[in-house]
Amino acid sequence: MSRSRHLFMLSGLLGASMSALAAPGTMSGIEKQPLNITAIIMFLVFVVATLGITYWAASKTKSMQDFYTAGGGITGFQNGWALAGDYMSAAALLGVTSMFFFNGYDGMIYAISFFVAWPLLLFVFAERIRNLGRVTIADIASYRLDQSRIRTLMAFGSLTVVCFYLVVQMVGAGQLIQLLFGLPYNYAVVVVGLLMAIYVTFGGMVATTWVQIIKAVLMLLGGTLLAVLALSKFGFSLDTLFAKAVATHKSGAGVLLPSKLVADPIAMISLSVGLVFGTAGLPHILMRFFTVPDAKQARKSVFVATGIIGFFFLIVAVLGMTAIVIVGQNPAFYEAGQLGGKLIGGGNMPVMHLARAVGGDLLLGFLSAVAFATILAVVAGLTLAGTSAISHDLYVMVLKKNHADPASERRVSRIASVWIGVAAVSLGILFKEQNIAFLVALTFGVAASVNFPILMLSMYWKGLTTRGALIGGVAGLLSSVSLVILSPAVWVKVLGNAKPIFPYDYPAIISMNTAFLFTWLGSITDRSYRAQRERDEFDAQFIRAQTGLGASGAVSH
């Protein structure tokens, strides 16, 4: 059966699923809200449009090089928008606005840390990653080290990050569709899982890139329009906005001051470390540098993305603060009409209620479609990163020793995308009550503790050896995941225990330094012949990283 027929069959299955789920009699509890027909129509228009992009991209994806990196044919300007689309996730639009809504100034810690990471990518990583890698970040880490062992480590590190980050997106998607359609949360998550499998399996990087570009444009337009309309309620005066926020927020003047997140400086610093350095370890972000033709375009990508993301987080701050007054004082947005109670649709929905308050169903429908586009774009990028780690790193390079045929690699990639979808749906259901901005902090903490140290040292430290990278990578992975499980976020809120074993929610300040320490110790104590050869090969790697000589986007077999 052809790829196109597979796509049409899956599209039909998706449509049937959504029609069945939207039928009367499926709503219960808080889902018994009047259906927003305008929002649903816009939502479905976007889904159909992205499926059309996937169908077009399927005809352009003829090789594994096209599947993984879009053939290296994306321009720097296009890739900058795609990077922004990949990074401006559900955690930013839904989660960070809810952080402002509930905690005021504390939301700035997230917004600023997310943004500060991009100069690091521009000046430290972008050019070298493009010159040294081809498909995944494991290409870079294993450039002069043992291929099998380092690729295996990096693949599992990437898959861990992908799984955590998918939780963030699935929670946001489930709550959004629940609010729009009045669907049970679990069914909504299944719909998203099916869509992400279609995008990645058939469209690869080409479809993922264009979904991300379109989503970034729509998000900036929608967010800017909403911010303008919301600020108009305050005469476009920030002084008036802040004065009313202080008067209405439960913490009073505390809404403009650091509070809960900075009560313990170690917790705040650990959060910031995770967000900043974790960005430099996100596999779905870093693999976008392989989609451009050269290092110059990689730098341009980050420059464009930085400007877009900076503007976006300014909008997010405005939306969060205006929601405190407009949404927080309107009982229509609370269950049973009780101010200060539980928000209809969940704690991540203030920005959606703000859209309805200032723009009615039309603006809510548009912003909902944009929010869903945000989630699908990031989910597609994450799924592609996870699929690449399995099919390229583990199957082709480790299991088949770079001798797999493209047909079998393609088959493995499709199977991997399906299983990643199953894992995403399962985890999304398990973590549905968590704030998604908080969950993304956990994700970034793992990325900062596993991928970032190995990538950084492999490109900048001559003394790194395979043994050191393995010891440090395993130490970072085990410490970050263990501390996350033992933290209040999981040990108490998810597993139901009375007290956490590890007192901090954000482990990066400990786990990242643990990774660096063990990597350094493992390397300096390695006196083997292989270790000396790996150190000697650093000079050749350095020349390629600086000049790009020998760099290619081709995927060999």
- How is 4-55 classified by DSSP, letter by letter? HHHHHHHHHHHHHHHHHHTSTT---GGG-SPP-HHHHHHHHHHHHHHHHHHH
- The confidence score (pLDDT) of residue 526 equals 94
Per-residue model confidence (pLDDT) at position 23: 35
SS3 294: coil
332's CB contacts (< 8 A; 6+ apart) are none
State residue 35's pLDDT score.
65
- pLDDT, one tens digit per residue, over 461-480 is 999 999 999 999 999 989 98
Bridge partners of 337, per DSSP, are none
User: Residue 63 phi/psi, 5° resolution?
Assistant: -140, 170
- Residues in contact with 151: Cβ distance below 8 Å, sequence separation at least 6, in sequence order: 138, 141, 142, 393, 394, 397, 398
Long-range contacts of 432-436 (CB under 8 A, 24+ apart): 432/171, 432/174, 432/175, 432/185, 432/189, 433/493, 434/167, 434/171, 434/489, 434/493, 434/494, 435/95, 435/98, 435/99, 435/347, 435/348, 436/90, 436/91, 436/94, 436/95, 436/168, 436/171, 436/172, 436/348
Q: Where are the domains of the chain?
A: 79-434
In the chain, the amino acid numbered 151 is R
Long-range pairs, 480-485, Cβ under 8 A, ≥24: 480/445, 480/446, 480/448, 480/449, 480/450, 480/507, 480/508, 480/511, 480/512, 481/160, 481/446, 483/507, 483/510, 483/511, 484/442, 484/445, 484/446
CA distance 379 to 167: 10
Give the end-to-end CA distance of the chain in Å, rounded to a whole number: 25
Residue that the structure tokens 């405005």 belong to: 318
Question: What's the CA gap between 193 and 420, in Å, rounded?
Answer: 9
pLDDT tens for each residue of the chain, 557 residues long: 444 444 444 444 334 333 333 333 333 333 445 566 776 787 788 778 878 888 888 787 778 888 888 888 899 999 999 999 988 876 678 888 988 999 888 888 888 888 888 998 988 999 999 999 888 999 999 999 999 999 999 999 899 888 888 887 787 777 777 766 667 788 888 888 887 778 777 778 888 898 889 889 988 999 999 999 999 999 999 999 999 999 998 888 888 887 766 667 888 888 889 889 998 999 999 999 999 999 999 999 999 999 999 999 999 999 999 999 999 888 888 887 777 778 887 787 899 899 999 988 888 888 877 877 777 778 888 888 999 999 999 999 999 988 888 889 889 988 998 888 888 888 888 877 665 655 676 788 889 999 999 999 999 999 999 999 999 999 998 998 888 888 887 788 777 888 999 888 888 999 999 999 999 999 999 999 999 999 999 999 999 998 887 765 444 33
Q: What pLDDT digit, counting tens, does each position of 529-548 carry?
A: 999 999 999 999 999 998 88
3-state secondary structure of 528: coil
Tell me the C-alpha distance between 280 and 286, whole Å: 7
3-state class (DSSP) for residue 272: helix
pLDDT at 213 (0 to 100): 92
Looking at residue 255, its pLDDT comes to: 86
- Containing H/E element for 199? none
User: How far is 27 from 270, CA to CA, in rounded Å?
Assistant: 41
pTM score of the predicted model: 0.85
Which superfamily does 79-434 belong to?
Sodium/glucose cotransporter (1.20.1730.10)
SS3 343: strand
Give 323-346 pLDDT, tens digit per residue.
999 998 888 888 877 777 788 877
Could you tell me which residues come within 8 angstroms of residue 543 by beta carbon, excluding any fewer than 6 positions away? 549
What contacts 235, CB < 8 A, 6 or more positions away? none
